[in-house]
Amino acid sequence: MTMLAHLTVAAVPLLLPLLLAGAEGGYRVVCYYGSWAVYRPGDGKFDVEDIDPTLCTHLVYGFVGLGEGDTVRVLDSWNDLPDNYGKGAMARFVKLKERSPTTKVMVSIGGWNEGSTKYSDMASSESRRQRFADNALAFVQKYGFDGLDLDWEYPAQRGGKPSDKDNFPKLLEAVYNKFHAKGLLFTAAFGASLKTVGLSYNIPEVSKYLDFINVMTYDYHGSWDTTTGVSAPLYADPTDASDEAKTMNIDTCVRNLLKLGAPAHKLNLGMGTYGHSFTLQDPQHHGVNAPISGPGEAGPYTRQTGTIGYNEICEQKNKWTIVWNDAQQVPYGYSNNQWIGYDNVKSIKIKSEYLKEKQFGGAMVWSLETDDFRNVCGEGKNPLLHTINAVLNGGTLPTGAPTTAGSTAAAQTGGGGQTAAPTTAAPQPTEPLPPATELCDHAGYVRDKTDCQVFYECVASGGQYLVYKFKCADGTYFDTTSDQCNYAEQVAC
């Protein structure tokens, strides 16, 4: 059990500034770890010991889920826990504090695949909110974490109810009060688009009950669109055609949050160590907003069409013609009929300077395992994360970044964007698999044979498979080519 659990309430006001900003009192650098990356092949395999905790003021373990009786549910017991010859990844994650005593370690509950329905039901009742708060506190104390991060995606959406917007602050208050009484952190990850913020969050109310907010300022564009687009543009592109498309950028969303009353010092600007990929309809039309025929080819490590890690991009940098988009302050690349929009050292530096200008409390990184953590590309280990630290808290900027083929302020072919569904890579073990069951014969995702909205996650555990059921939002089906929910008309069902 963490030492923090034994602190008295009177000690909390003195303790929390250190928890929030780290011992140095500088900007926060909040780093998420997708624990399923341990199952990736070759140089893409990323385990707890590959984390450099000195680069993060806060480390967040993703994910646990919401279980029966409003409990916290471990999703991959073989990897997460030491029981039954498990790998004990959570305990090893907490132990990283020995290498960096000022770093705070947290666990995140939720994520895209958890959906919204269970959280909506739990938050609708005062007694259930309190029960969840008690269970969450007990879980965090049992495993030695410094706090809990709530990643409900999203209140009043994806199976939620309109009343979630009112119930969400009540849930946050219940958890916040119990955690602060024990000197523990409570934070949340928020969607950033104008539509999501409007539907899901009463910004002044929710801000009261969170130590900080990790704003997911990415996934603005992806293969769910009809045209190419960078995952996280800082500004709009001149070729953005629709009114909605013109809002799908970081600056518009940040200004909206601040206008609604979000305290800047509680906000962490989200930055991705990955991009989205597309297959072009016409290789000769390869600018922003060029027509696409579907997601791009899967990378060798993430193995998911439409999503590609920075490490996968930079390891094949000779394959891509890289263009710097002056309007959006981000790069993109193309090669034959393949197109990628992502962040590199230059754009991450600009975004880090931007958050300082906006007086944010820090940065959030999703996620550690797709930075170039092995220095295969020659920019040094973790070049994106090092860039954030250099701008925010001092240090040396990485060198040797890939050169660009040119700049562009506008690109070819108009077309708008749509609200995006963030992606999460499926666990794919490389170790010997447990015996097959009727539904699962491998770890990963399986679509229901009779209902294309329904899919299952098969998690190897203790010689068998744990099976978790999910349902895509109305109007979307589970796409077996990309292992994510996609618009129904784009899915073969």
Calpha distance 268→149 (Å, rounded): 13
Catalytic residue among 24, 49, 98, 153: 153
126 is catalytic: no
120-123, long-range: CB within 8 Å, 24+ apart, which pairs? 120/155, 120/156, 120/159, 120/160, 120/161, 120/164, 120/167, 122/66, 122/70, 122/171, 123/155, 123/164, 123/167, 123/168, 123/170, 123/171
Give the C-alpha distances (Å, rounded to integers) separating 25 from 17, 22, 209, 362.
8, 6, 21, 11
Where in the sequence numbering do the catalytic residues fall? 153
